[in-house]
Amino acid sequence: MIEVVNLSKKFGDFTALDNINFNAREGEIITLLGPNGAGKSTLMRCLCGFYLPDGGSVKINGQNVQENLSEILKTLGYMPENTPLYPEMTVFEYMRFISGVYKMRPDEFKTSLEEMVKQLDLSSVLGQKIATLSKGYKRRVGVAAVMLHKPSFLILDEPTEGLDPNQKIALRNYLKGYAKHALVLISTHLLEEAEALSSRILLLNHGRLIEDTNVQKFKQKAPDESLAELFYNLTNDDEGKNGNQSV
Amino acid sequence: METSLYKRDLMSFFYSNSVYAVFGVYALLSMIMTFFWGMYFVDDNLAMMSFFIYQPQILAMIIPAITMRCWAEEKKSGTIENLLTFPITSWNLVFSKFLAMFTIAVMMLLFSVPLLLTTTIYVPLDWGNILSAYIGLVSVIGALTAVGCLFSALVSIPAVAYLSGLLVGVLWVNLKWGYWVTRWWKNMPFYFDGVLNFDDNYQNFCNGQFNPAGIIYFVSVAVLLLFFNWLVVASWRTK
């Protein structure tokens, strides 16, 4: 379970996250939604301990992230935006490296790799250097790498960016299945993604959490508008005046 | 140590073509210094010493080329975000990367084996001296590798990491630190003069004296710089 209490993060005078509060548990797929610069990536980085919050706390399974970082990171899989990978390695070498980092047994690695290769359709590129892969394949390799050790908490920053429609649907289906025994948190600015994938939406704007709801309730806020129009009306404000609407 | 990270960093150097350039330049410089600057063809007793005596100068130029990418490239490509969210402590990250770079740098010494074997055919060698010189050289490599790793962590551009590592390495190897410290600290006991100098510590190894103080000197420098490197990496985790 993740508990986020009064989380704030500043960069100089700029407030990237402002008093964020929410809880989430295994079995949920949560989409962080918001325009560019809303604070989605910053929130994800605070959740996985990459950023130190300026205020508030993040607890995972009751443990403060910053105080028990090494232990918590064993149960967590985080894929940053743009999926940074080592281009000189082959996909298989990279997967083996990841299995070593998480101290997976050879049989665990073999089983998990076979599953990833099947689910994410990586068999044709397993022996290929990462530098030579297309953007879509790199994204899938990134997803496979963070899921290889079967984390209980999966944090993916724009995982379907660069994937073709077939790949998007395949990944969404896999994540839906995976979320039965894990918490999946993804960020996106694609509304169709939130609608297709998530059980819950967290809408961020100007570093504030302005909606914490499910897709159906979100749509009911303005039944006559499309999701895009609703998103526009909620986030396209002056100085984030909607900021405290319904936290 | 994190074995998987050590192996990855070690192999990543051999994946790129730069390995041939770095090893080639090292071998070339070593041979030029040994045969043309040194006393290799002049004095039988100093034949192998001609190789060892110039090694710190050469290594101060070559080792930053090995270490420059170890942190700077991770920051430049964004993979540092992956590294810092792996369940690996900051110290293990620092030590694993250092050890990988150190291993590569020590591998370069294999180029001296043909020279050693050829020389032993014509000149009776004092193997005690040779062993002592190699121990000194490995200690120097450790310290210079720590210098390079630290500068790679401090900057984000590998070329800048190389130049800053080169500058500090060359200054450290060539300056008489003891002299400068005694000018600043007038009452410093005179024996510190030699203790602080790179050259004095290394020369003892080349003269065939097994020199525990020299090992302590170079290992202390390496440990101190690795500690600074750890501080830099730990600071990334608290930003």
Selected residue with higher pLDDT from B39 and A94: A94
Tokens of B141: 């490599």
Give the start-to-end residue ranges of the domains of chain B. 3-236
Domain CATH number, residue A33:
3.40.50.300
pLDDT for A216: 76
Mean pLDDT of the residues in chain B: 87
Q: Which residue on chain A is closest to B90 by alpha carbon?
A: A70
CA-based nearest residue to A39, from A214, A211, A209, A229: A209
Q: Which residues of A touch B12 (CB under 8 A)?
A: 86, 88-89
- The confidence band for A87, taking pLDDT boundaries of 50, 70 and 90, is very high
Q: In the predicted model, is pLDDT for residue A136 greater than 50?
A: yes
Residue labelled with tokens 């610069």: A37
Q: What is the mean pLDDT of residues A4-17?
A: 90
Q: Which residues of A touch B237 (CB under 8 A)?
A: 49-50, 52, 69
Tokens of B43: 């004095």
| Residue A12 forms part of a structural domain | no
Tokens of A110: 């073999």
CA A94, A99, A103, A109 torsion: positive or negative? negative
Selected residue with higher pLDDT from A133 and B46: A133
CA dihedral angle for residue A143, residue A144, residue A150, residue A151, rounded to 10 degrees: -20
- The confidence band for A46, taking pLDDT boundaries of 50, 70 and 90, is very high
Q: In the predicted model, is pLDDT for residue A245 greater than 60?
A: no
Which tens digit of pLDDT belongs to each residue from B65-74? 999 999 999 9
CA-based nearest residue to B67, from B36, B38, B97: B97
- Contact residues, B window 13-32, toward A, CB-based 8 Å cutoff: 15-16
First to last CA, chain B: 24
Please give the Cα distance from B1 to A101 (Å, whole number): 11
Minimum-distance CB partner of B78 among A51, A80, A100: A80
DSSP code, position B48: H
Which tens digit of pLDDT belongs to each residue from A15-28? 899 889 999 988 88
pLDDT for B179: 67
Whole-angstrom CA distances from A195 to A94, A192, B33, B87, B126 are 33, 5, 69, 33, 78
Chain A nearest CA to B15, separation (Å): 6
Residue A113 sits in which domain range?
A: 83-150
Top-ranked range on mean pLDDT: pick from A187-191, B57-61, B195-199: B57-61
Domain boundary among A93, A118, A150: A150
Mutate to test the interface with A, among B2, B5, B8 (most CBs of A within 10 A): B8
CA-based nearest residue to A31, from A19, A13, A43: A43
Residues A177 and A221 in one domain: yes
Verify whether the Cβ–Cβ distance A101 to B2 is below 8 Å: yes
Domain boundary among A128, A150, A172: A150
Angle between helix A165-178 and helix A135-147 axes, rounded to 10 deg: 10
How many independent structural domains does chain A possess? 2
Chain B nearest CA to A40, separation (Å): 16
Minimum-distance CB partner of A86 among B12, B87, B239: B12
| Residue A4 forms part of a structural domain | no
Q: Which residues contact B49 (CB under 8 A, 6 or more apart)?
A: B38, B39, B129, B133, B206
- The confidence band for B101, taking pLDDT boundaries of 50, 70 and 90, is very high
Please give the Cα distance from A153 to A174 (Å, whole number): 15
Three-state secondary structure call for residue A189: coil
Q: Which residue on chain A is closest to B4 by alpha carbon?
A: A100
Q: Which residues of A touch B4 (CB under 8 A)?
A: 97, 99-101
Residues A124 and A162 in one domain: no
Tokens of A104: 């997976």
Q: Give me the interface pTM, i.e. the ipTM.
A: 0.85
Q: In the predicted model, is pLDDT for residue A182 greater than 80?
A: yes
Which tens digit of pLDDT belongs to each residue from A138-165? 999 999 999 999 999 999 998 888 888 8
Which tens digit of pLDDT belongs to each residue from A214-241? 877 777 776 666 667 777 777 776 444 4
Verify whether the Cβ–Cβ distance A86 to B237 is below 8 Å: no
Q: What is the mean pLDDT of residues A30-44?
A: 89
What is the widest separation between alpha-carbon atoms in chain B?
61
One-letter amino acid of A133: L
| Residue A129 forms part of a structural domain | yes
Residue labelled with tokens 């309730």: A217
Residues A191 and A164 in one domain: yes
Domain boundary among A150, A185, A201: A150
pLDDT for A241: 46
What share of residues in chain A are helix, strand, coil (percent, to 5)? Answer: 40, 25, 35
pLDDT for A242: 45
Verify whether the Cβ–Cβ distance A76 to B82 is below 8 Å: no
pLDDT for A77: 93
| Residue A14 forms part of a structural domain | no
| Residue A122 forms part of a structural domain | yes
Q: What percent of chain B has pLDDT over 70?
A: 90
Paired with A185 in beta bridges are A30, A155
Q: In the predicted model, is pLDDT for residue A168 greater than 60?
A: yes
- The confidence band for B212, taking pLDDT boundaries of 50, 70 and 90, is confident
CA-based nearest residue to B101, from B230, B8, B26: B8
Q: Which residues of A touch B89 (CB under 8 A)?
A: 70
